[in-house]
């Protein structure tokens, strides 16, 4: 009897969840993406049948080793790298930590250049390195979130050994001039790392052409599994292990490989590569449509980030006189998932460091929402979202003494 009741409750909870998920409008693809069915079906074989430990000696394990090599080759080809330049990691955070700490460990002292708008995986690592005696320059960005190449050049010192600048910003979507930064780093013989977690598979990346020495990626941002990613490290850089133990990843990252994750990531990359152009075009069209409707129809709204040089899936708006956190909850009740700033920083106190860096006053930073779409978004879903937004913002402003004072 108890068991039956339990099963019924369990079933109902799952059913309700599934129905709610099917009906919701998901606009938080910068936080994470939905895994493609082809990806998880592909991954299943590594949990069901092909479960051998790749380090074992028999042919069953050799087959799994071959699959990891297949994945490594796929990933390498996707950025024009060589196979032995790809190290599997647990995602963006580990890759960022590893890249910076590995170089710091090699150079022992000196100067690193980064920006004020990096993800916390970079900023917190820089703070850690500062405590260990390294000197860090945090470059400013302009009102659109772009670094200034002149400032970068001026910041280079004799002891600068590393430049770490993200390819695309996770909050406002601004794309940095990666190729030009790579050229400057090359001319000055400085290692150039880029956090490409948001950019990889959204824009084409060629590490050779762009003079990138190290690059971080994460599979769950491209319809792949969570907890997996890779770090590209150019040949001949002073590579050192981050996790010590067994001999996996050519002695560089110990621990039994996350085979399902690694192969799932490669499968996701394969699909993402084949669909990059069409995804870009669809997202751009929807992005243009939504930006123009929001800016034209919602008074006191502004688009943050670069008007042109931005990710095709990102829209970051401030709605003056409306609190972003409250709007997020109101939209959630209407079945729409968005983010107030960056998902990774929703537990952070204070306004977003990125919005501060582009010069937004606190009041506007607190009234900001990030919408990150994908290629499956429909015009109807955008229309519904804008209608909800308009109603919710109206309701909030009606109760805002600041707004009432401003407009009367």
User: What would the two tokens of residue 167 be?
Assistant: 């390819």
Q: Which is nearer to ligand PLP, 91 or 182 (CB)?
A: 91
Q: CA 264 to CA 268: how far, in whole Å? A: 6
- Does the protein bind ligand PLP through residue 203 (CB under 6 A)? no
SS3 label, residue 119: coil
Other CB atoms within a 10 A radius of the CB of residue 59 amount to: 9
- Does the protein bind ligand PLP through residue 195 (CB under 6 A)? yes
- Please list the residues that pair with 115 across neighbouring strands: 139
Q: Which is nearer to ligand PLP, 198 or 367 (CB)?
A: 198
Which candidate, 331, 357, 292, 336, places its Cα nearest to that of 24?
336
HSE-up of 26 (CA within 13 Å, CB side)? Answer: 13
**Residue 90: CB minimum distance to ligand PLP, A:** 7
Residue nearest to ligand PLP (CB): 92
Contact by Cβ (8 Å): 118, 195: yes
- Does the protein bind ligand PLP through residue 121 (CB under 6 A)? yes
CA distances from 338 to 15, 80, 159, 406 (A): 23, 34, 42, 28
Stretch 3-62 residues interacting with ligand PLP (CB under 6 A): none
Query: What is the DSSP pairing of strand 135-139 with strand 191-195?
Result: unpaired
**Residue 186: CB minimum distance to ligand PLP, A:** 23
- Does the protein bind ligand PLP through residue 92 (CB under 6 A)? yes
Segment contacting ligand PLP by CB under 6 A, of 85-93, 155-163, 260-268, 292-300: 85-93
Stretch 219-238 residues interacting with ligand PLP (CB under 6 A): 229
Segment contacting ligand PLP by CB under 6 A, of 88-96, 207-215, 238-246, 328-336: 88-96
- Please list the residues that pair with 111 across neighbouring strands: 135, 160
- Does the protein bind ligand PLP through residue 198 (CB under 6 A)? yes
Q: Which is nearer to ligand PLP, 119 or 397 (CB)?
A: 119
Contact by Cβ (8 Å): 356, 364: no
Segment contacting ligand PLP by CB under 6 A, of 6-14, 128-136, 195-203, 379-387: 195-203
Stretch 155-194 residues interacting with ligand PLP (CB under 6 A): 166, 170
Q: Which is nearer to ligand PLP, 225 or 351 (CB)?
A: 225
Q: Which is nearer to ligand PLP, 358 or 389 (CB)?
A: 358
Residue 294, sorted as left (phi over 0), alpha (psi -120 to 50) or beta, turns out to be alpha
**Residue 226: CB minimum distance to ligand PLP, A:** 7
DSSP 171-210: TT-BBP-HHHHHHHHHHTT-EEEEE-TTTBTTB---TTTT
Whether the CA torsion 337, 340, 341, 343 is positive or negative: it is negative
**Residue 120: CB minimum distance to ligand PLP, A:** 8
**Residue 175: CB minimum distance to ligand PLP, A:** 12
Whether the CA torsion 77, 78, 81, 84 is positive or negative: it is negative
Contact by Cβ (8 Å): 99, 193: yes
- Does the protein bind ligand PLP through residue 248 (CB under 6 A)? no
**Residue 343: CB minimum distance to ligand PLP, A:** 6
- Please list the residues that pair with 195 across neighbouring strands: 216
- Does the protein bind ligand PLP through residue 197 (CB under 6 A)? yes
Task: Figure out which of the listed residues 344, 356, 359, 395 binds ligand PLP, where binding follows CB under 6 A.
Answer: 344
Q: Which is nearer to ligand PLP, 165 or 166 (CB)?
A: 166
Using alpha carbons only, how large is the chain's radius of gyration in Å?
A: 23
Query: How many residues in the shown chain lie near ligand PLP by CB under 6 A?
Result: 14
The set of catalytic residues is 344
**Residue 370: CB minimum distance to ligand PLP, A:** 11
Residues in the chain: 408
Residues in contact with ligand PLP by the rule CB under 6 A: 91-93, 96, 119, 121, 166, 170, 195, 197-198, 218, 229, 344
């Amino acid at each position: 009897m108890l068991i039956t009741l339990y099963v019924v409750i369990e079933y109902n909870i799952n059913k309700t969840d599934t129905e709610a998920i099917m009906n919701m409008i998901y606009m938080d693809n910068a936080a994470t993406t939905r895994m493609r069915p082809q990806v998880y079906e592909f991954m299943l074989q590594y949990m069901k049948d092909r479960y051998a430990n790749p380090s074992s000696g028999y042919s069953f394990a050799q087959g799994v080793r071959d699959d990891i090599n297949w994945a490594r080759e796929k990933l390498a080809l996707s950025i024009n790298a060589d196979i032995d330049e790809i190290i599997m990691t647990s995602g963006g955070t580990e890759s960022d930590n590893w890249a910076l700490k590995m170089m710091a460990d090699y150079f022992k002292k000196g100067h690193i250049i980064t920006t004020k708008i990096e993800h916390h995986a970079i900023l917190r690592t820089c703070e850690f390195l500062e405590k260990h005696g390294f000197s860090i320059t945090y470059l400013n960005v302009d009102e659109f979130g772009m670094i200034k190449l002149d400032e970068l050049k001026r910041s280079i010192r004799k002891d600068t050994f590393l430049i770490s600048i993200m390819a695309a910003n996770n909050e406002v979507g601004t794309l940095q001039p990666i190729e030009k930064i790579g050229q400057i780093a090359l001319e000055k013989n400085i290692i150039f790392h880029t956090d490409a977690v948001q950019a990889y598979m959204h824009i084409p990346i060629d590490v050779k052409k762009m003079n990138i020495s190290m690059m971080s990626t994460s599979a769950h941002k491209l319809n792949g599994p969570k907890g997996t990613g890779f770090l590209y490290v150019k040949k001949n850089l002073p590579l050192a292990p981050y996790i010590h133990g067994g001999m996996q990843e050519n002695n560089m990252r110990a621990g039994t490989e996350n085979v399902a994750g690694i192969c799932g990531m490669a499968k996701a990359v394969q699909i993402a590569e084949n669909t990059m152009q069409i995804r870009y075009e669809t997202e751009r069209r929807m992005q243009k449509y939504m930006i123009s409707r929001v800016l034209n129809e919602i008074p006191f709204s502004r688009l943050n980030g670069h008007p042109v040089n931005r990710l095709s899936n990102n829209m970051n708006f401030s709605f003056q006189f409306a609190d972003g956190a409250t709007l997020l909850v109101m939209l959630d009740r209407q079945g729409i998932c968005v983010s107030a700033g960056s998902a990774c920083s929703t537990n952070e106190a204070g306004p977003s460091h990125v919005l501060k860096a582009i010069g937004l006053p606190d009041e506007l930073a607190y009234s900001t929402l990030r919408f990150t779409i994908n290629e499956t978004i429909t015009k109807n879903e955008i229309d519904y979202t804008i209608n909800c937004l308009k109603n919710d913002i109206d309701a909030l402003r009606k109760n805002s003494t600041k707004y009432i004072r401003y407009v009367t």
